A and B are shown apart, each in its own frame.
Chain A
């Protein structure tokens, strides 16, 4: 595979502004990804929006990835991905942070290691996308204004897009609770 071309003009700016933080960067098909340690994620995102040279004023998307069993080595199991766009400069940048769980990932118990700071105070449009990442991967966002599950319901016993959750579910279709009219 070709060597990644790390010539994205934002990378030196971020490096200079956060000289003590260890970043990783990669490039694939002309799209540059910046990997930020989870504790600095919020600061870096804020810098990327506010710095006049970077000027990423638009948050295109927030999504999560579970790398359990992924063939290439990754710096952690879960990733939260922010896709940023600068309207003025016509650039895109993918910002990614990796998280490793400390407890069993088959249930919905909160894991203090799976927490990052929410970007809703930087881009309010992140609100529902972060809720979806929480719903699907169980990654919690600190300081989120309304962190509830969004597509599944509160008591759904798993975070379904995790790779250890089977495609056909764990029998939820057969073992659901039946509510009779007089008990409702």
Chain B
């Protein structure tokens, strides 16, 4: 046998045992299959060691760390604005959401209240990020089951989101758009931005979702491959710390946009009594892969609804919170026009200068497309965080994989993996 599970002794205490495992412990034809790390169906570098009984998975052991590049150590050496370029590389299929999550946590730590314009822009971008993520996830889930067309339907539309990101920030893939208390630069032209987003959600997306649903929703093969596969119950979903579409597909009624509201999901977000954005949170109860697919598709429709409410009324006014203290960058025009702003600019950018940060720790999380993406930041009063700990949803979801998989057939593995939407860069950081 080419692979030995390492270390063997660790597995005597197995909390993931399924009933199948209990009754088939002494099966004679067990064999070990190494799945990944380089395999098209693992999407990225995931490795799972599968102990198989014939074609049935008896035990799955994920091995991770192939993409570990010390993001959190880097976070302790980059300042609060620089680190956004690193967090953006975590969940790289919706990078803008990471940016927003990181600076959401920073702004809780620094106690900064954003301007209404910034809140609206960030909310729209976060929902575009959700669309970006779900389009790939739904498409790739179909791809893994052999429906290549579904993948192209989804992937094609992501191009239009790239165009929007390109327009606002100058970068297609990793916008790195947010800054403490604001964004890198204001939107060049509201009307162009509005037209681009309108075109995307009014003409492109409805057609894409219709295409996807026509192709998949009543597709016998798709349903047979997903239904009752990778089931996780309501109580297990909570016990295993699952969040996001995964938990909601198991009937957990929790969405941070509703339960711990932030940005435009909060009551009175513009300071003049604005209502929170209206949307519904889709819940499914079966907890299988099909439910996760359905929840994701429904979430895309809700995201379009959220953008639809905001895009026509982007408030005018400054996009950056006023630069009090040495945390927030002054406007570029002021840097060239006034000595105070020039000094403040240098205070923030020069390495030997100080940031006016508190000594304390805070946790901030947003509802990323995959679930609760949070950052626990310990600040020491200096220009870099003392500790920038991530709560990566992929990491926490991947540990429940053996529980969902064991007892299923080998071919179900790709269905379950596709429904979890594991992003290895976020998993390993």
Partner of B77, one of A94, A123, A151, A167: A167
Query: Could you tell me if A161 and B73 are in contact, using CB atoms closer than 8 angstroms?
Result: yes
Query: Could you tell me if B363 and A83 are in contact, using CB atoms closer than 8 angstroms?
Result: yes
Knowing A28-B360, A81-B376, A94-B363 touch, does A148 contact B7 (C-beta < 8 A)? yes
**In the complex, what residues of B have CB within 8 A of residue A167's CB?**
73-74, 76-77
Query: Could you tell me if B399 and A128 are in contact, using CB atoms closer than 8 angstroms?
Result: yes
Stretch at the interface among B25-33, B123-131, B155-163, B378-386: B378-386
Q: In the bound complex, how far is the Cα of B427 from the Cα of A150, in angstroms?
A: 11
Q: In the bound complex, how far is the Cα of B389 from the Cα of A134, in angstroms?
A: 14
Query: Could you tell me if B239 and A124 are in contact, using CB atoms closer than 8 angstroms?
Result: yes
Give chain A nearest CB distance to B208 CB in angstroms: 34
Partner of A60, one of B241, B398, B428: B241
Residue with the greatest number of chain B CB neighbours at <10 A, chosen from A28, A152, A161: A28
Query: Could you tell me if B362 and A160 are in contact, using CB atoms closer than 8 angstroms?
Result: no
Stretch at the interface among B63-71, B92-100, B179-187, B280-288: B63-71
Give chain A nearest CB distance to B325 CB in angstroms: 14
Partner of A145, one of B14, B239, B396, B429: B14
Q: In the bound complex, how far is the Cα of B10 from the Cα of A26, in angstroms?
A: 38
Partner of A146, one of B13, B240, B374: B13
Check if B238 is an interface residue, CB within 8 A of chain A: yes
Give chain A nearest CB distance to B146 CB in angstroms: 31
Contact indicator per residue, chain A 148-173, by CB within 8 Å of chain B (1) or not (0): 10111110000011000001000000
Query: Could you tell me if B374 and A28 are in contact, using CB atoms closer than 8 angstroms?
Result: no
Check if B19 is an interface residue, CB within 8 A of chain A: no
Query: Could you tell me if B241 and A83 are in contact, using CB atoms closer than 8 angstroms?
Result: no
Stretch at the interface among A11-19, A36-44, A66-74, A103-111: A66-74
Check if B412 is an interface residue, CB within 8 A of chain A: no
- Chain A: residues with Cβ within 8 Å of the partner, total of 46
Knowing A28-B360, A71-B380 touch, does A148 contact B391 (C-beta < 8 A)? no
Partner of B399, one of A33, A92, A125, A148: A125
Check if B318 is an interface residue, CB within 8 A of chain A: no
Query: Could you tell me if B68 and A124 are in contact, using CB atoms closer than 8 angstroms?
Result: no
Query: Could you tell me if B359 and A71 are in contact, using CB atoms closer than 8 angstroms?
Result: yes
Give chain B nearest CB distance to A130 CB in angstroms: 11
Interface residues of B, dominant DSSP: mixed
Q: In the bound complex, how far is the Cα of B359 from the Cα of A123, in angstroms?
A: 31
Interface residues of A, dominant DSSP: loop
Give chain A nearest CB distance to B109 CB in angstroms: 7
A-B contact count (CB 8 A): 118
**In the complex, what residues of B have CB within 8 A of residue A87's CB?**
238, 252, 254, 259
Residue of A nearest to B235 (CB): A57
**In the complex, what residues of B have CB within 8 A of residue A117's CB?**
none
Interface positions, chain B 379-429, Cβ under 8 Å from A, are 380-381, 386-387, 389, 391, 395-396, 398-400, 428-429
Q: In the bound complex, how far is the Cα of B252 from the Cα of A59, in angstroms?
A: 14
Give chain A nearest CB distance to B393 CB in angstroms: 10
Knowing A61-B374, A145-B14, A150-B65 touch, does A72 contact B362 (C-beta < 8 A)? no
Give chain B nearest CB distance to A179 CB in angstroms: 17
Check if B147 is an interface residue, CB within 8 A of chain A: no
**In the complex, what residues of B have CB within 8 A of residue A90's CB?**
259-260
Give chain B nearest CB distance to A99 CB in angstroms: 15
Query: Could you tell me if A120 and B358 are in contact, using CB atoms closer than 8 angstroms?
Result: no
Query: Could you tell me if A153 and B65 are in contact, using CB atoms closer than 8 angstroms?
Result: yes
Query: Could you tell me if A161 and B72 are in contact, using CB atoms closer than 8 angstroms?
Result: yes
Query: Could you tell me if A129 and B396 are in contact, using CB atoms closer than 8 angstroms?
Result: yes
Q: In the bound complex, how far is the Cα of B391 from the Cα of A58, in angstroms?
A: 14
Give chain A nearest CB distance to B120 CB in angstroms: 23
Check if B15 is an interface residue, CB within 8 A of chain A: yes
**In the complex, what residues of A have CB within 8 A of residue B109's CB?**
29
**In the complex, what residues of A have CB within 8 A of residue B398's CB?**
128
Partner of A125, one of B68, B242, B359: B242
Binding site for A on B (CB under 8 A): 6-7, 10-11, 13-15, 64-65, 68, 70, 72-74, 76-77, 108-109, 111, 238-242, 252, 254, 259-260, 358-363, 365, 372, 374, 376, 378, 380-381, 386-387, 389, 391, 395-396, 398-400, 428-429
Provide a sorted-by-A list of 8 A–B residue pairs whose CB atoms are within 8 angstroms.
Answer: A28-B360, A29-B108, A60-B391, A63-B391, A65-B386, A70-B380, A83-B363, A132-B395
Given A124-B239, A150-B64, A161-B387, output 6 extra A-B contacts at Cβ < 8 Å: A1-B359, A63-B376, A124-B240, A125-B396, A145-B15, A148-B7
